[in-house]
Amino acid sequence: MAKRRKRGLSMRKIREILRLGLKCGMGCRQIGRSCSISHSTVSEYLHRAKKAGLAYDEIENMDDLQLERLVKNDVSEKSTQNRDQPDWKVIHQELKKKGVTLQLLWQEYKLIHPEGYQSTQFYELYSRWKNKLHVTMRQTHKAGEKMFVDYAGQTVPVVDRKTGQVKDAQIFTAVLGASNYTYAEATRDQGLANWIASHIRAFEYFGGVPQIVVPDNLRSGISKSCRYEPDINPTYQDMATHYGTVIIPARVRKPKDKAKAEVGVQIVERWILAALRNHTFFSLPHLNEAIDGLLDKLNHRPFKKLEGSRESLFEAIEKKALLALPQSRYVFAEWKKAGVNIDYHVELDRHYYSVPYKLVREKVQIRYTATTVEIFYKGMRVASHKRSYRSGHHSTQKEHMPKSHQQHLAWSPSRIINWASTIGKSCAQVVDTIMKSRQHAEQGYRSCLGILRLANAYSNDRLEAACKRAIAIRGCNYKSIRSILEKGLDTQPLPNASNAPKIEHKNIRGRSYYINNQ
């Protein structure tokens, strides 16, 4: 029976493995959980990067093809055949004894079986065996390691003073794993922008960043929910990279993974939202001010079975363990996939941004904020523009344009005009008018091609008639011509003043009256 070939990893995931291992210094076990792949595969990629002598700063400046040649070729699982198998039942019983660790048991195993499993494989195989037992374990969290985030199921109504309309505010909750120190705030919705902004304010409230953020499989943060390989939203991943943290989503149908978040939400609902149930709020700032006061009381409230409070435990063990906040706040950015048109521009919100002309017909990724637009090809930034909101206009950089003597581009103004001439003189005139109206002829390619392709749906004769009408009404653009065809106006007589019936009336003086009385 043929061995099933292992599915390759995306370059984005490989970059994340190398970032976490080489820059953040995380172990293979944690990286494997974050990226939803086996620890041995993580170890193999890190080994290849170290063998090539790569520092993370060098990796950041490489494109996907360069990086792939170094670390992706021939990554395969090591054969586990002909190895001395440990007695996992004995291992499991030994671990229950005080002071016994899995590392100690592996060292004892290696003394007896020098050719046996290495530590990473040993730990992984034991973990797989143990998971089959369905053993219930109480999770312990290290200081500064994890922050659990979720939205409360309960909402708070906010009344618009002017209209009286009531909208339900969503309650975002973040809980640190070791101290249970809690943050909560109200937002208008659970959209991506508010999801990211809530994380940023939580980090600033804690005065630092945890090593790992554990969200539920919320649509805003997780693009595709999957137990084994959830896809993290690119903006969410971008934010995590900026703060140097890792996103490890809770597994589907694994409530223990998010137990801390659910308990935190429950406490917020009992001690904050319940206390506000009889209050009326007229704005989000008004609501968040009330939440802040009760949140402070919650964090200072003494534990029932332990000494101190969330606040004191946070100050004692967790605050110093958090990663430092970066010098600048993360600027919210969204991502979009796009294809480069023959005019070497990509479209974003009906505005067109140039890229180097050699990327015509290639697929790129657009990262955009409220003020900037960046375009990436195979992981490398190839263009940067100031964000424009002028619909239908172009942002073109001269260095992206082909030189006039270069003939490698398949399209040119003359080729498009010749194509239009096969349909008719009016169509060629429309195309010529569009390209002359642009600062650069290439900026008119997209509109011209759209007009020419209307012939596929309406025939050459109808398109030529529609272009004649467009010239007569000075509407030489794609929208006007498409509207003429959709409404059947191309079959109607052209709007010409000479065709209109002559009106005679004694009160109409006519042109001669004004000429004779000058």
Please count the CA atoms within 13 angstroms of the CA of 3 that sit on its side-chain side: 6
**For the chain, how long is the longest CA-to-CA vector?**
122
Predicted pLDDT at 403: 65
Rounded-to-integer distance, Cα 398 and Cα 406, Å: 15
CB-CB contact of 88 with 24 (8 Å): no
Identify any residues that bridge with 367 across adjacent strands, giving them in sequence order. Answer: 335, 374
The residue whose two tokens read 């790992």 is: 212
77 pLDDT higher than 50: no
Closest of 437, 128, 420, 137 to residue 257, by C-alpha: 137
Q: How confident is the model at residue 140 (pLDDT cuts 50, 70, 90)?
A: low
CB-CB contact of 182 with 267 (8 Å): yes
118 torsion bin: left (phi>0), alpha (psi -120 to 50), beta (else):
beta
Percent of the residues in the chain that have a pLDDT greater than 90, as a whole number: 12
CB-CB contact of 485 with 478 (8 Å): no
Does the model's pTM come out above 0.75? no
Predicted pLDDT at 500: 47
Rounded-to-integer distance, Cα 444 and Cα 432, Å: 9
Mean pLDDT of 418-433: 87
Predicted pLDDT at 224: 46
Mean pLDDT of 199-214: 92
Identify any residues that bridge with 368 across adjacent strands, giving them in sequence order. Answer: 334, 373
Look at strands 394-395 and 351-354 and give their pairing: parallel
CB-CB contact of 267 with 181 (8 Å): no
Convert the pLDDT of each residue in 224-245 to its tens digit. 443 333 457 788 888 999 999 9
Q: How confident is the model at residue 71 (pLDDT cuts 50, 70, 90)?
A: low
Predicted pLDDT at 187: 92
203 pLDDT higher than 60: yes
Mean pLDDT of 314-325: 88
174 pLDDT higher than 70: yes
Question: For residue 441, what is the DSSP state?
Answer: G
51 or 236, higher pLDDT: 236
Convert the pLDDT of each residue in 342-382 to its tens digit. 778 898 888 989 998 888 888 999 998 888 899 999 888 88
Residue 117, SS3 per DSSP: coil
Predicted pLDDT at 89: 73
204 pLDDT higher than 90: yes
Mean pLDDT of 424-430: 88
Rounded-to-integer distance, Cα 417 and Cα 433, Å: 10
Task: Return all residues near 319 (Cβ < 8 A) that are at least 6 apart.
Answer: 206, 207, 208
H/E run at residue 222? strand 222-224
Q: 465: which 2 tokens?
A: 């008639």
Predicted pLDDT at 137: 41
80 or 266, higher pLDDT: 266
Q: How confident is the model at residue 494 (pLDDT cuts 50, 70, 90)?
A: confident
Q: How confident is the model at residue 75 (pLDDT cuts 50, 70, 90)?
A: very low
Rounded-to-integer distance, Cα 319 and Cα 302, Å: 18
Rounded-to-integer distance, Cα 213 and Cα 34, Å: 10
Rounded-to-integer distance, Cα 150 and Cα 264, Å: 9
Rounded-to-integer distance, Cα 116 and Cα 231, Å: 35
Identify any residues that bridge with 171 across adjacent strands, giving them in sequence order. Answer: 186
503 or 145, higher pLDDT: 145
Convert the pLDDT of each residue in 248-295 to its tens digit. 887 655 555 566 667 878 888 888 888 888 888 998 999 999 999 999
Closest of 18, 5, 1 to residue 379, by C-alpha: 18
Task: Return all residues near 272 (Cβ < 8 A) that are at least 6 apart.
Answer: 184, 291, 294, 295, 298
Predicted pLDDT at 209: 93
Predicted pLDDT at 141: 66
H/E run at residue 461? helix 460-472
CA angle 152, 156, 162 (to 5 degrees): 150
Query: What rounded mean pLDDT belongs to the chain?
Result: 79
Length of the chain measured in residues: 518
Rounded-to-integer distance, Cα 314 and Cα 321, Å: 10
Predicted pLDDT at 201: 94
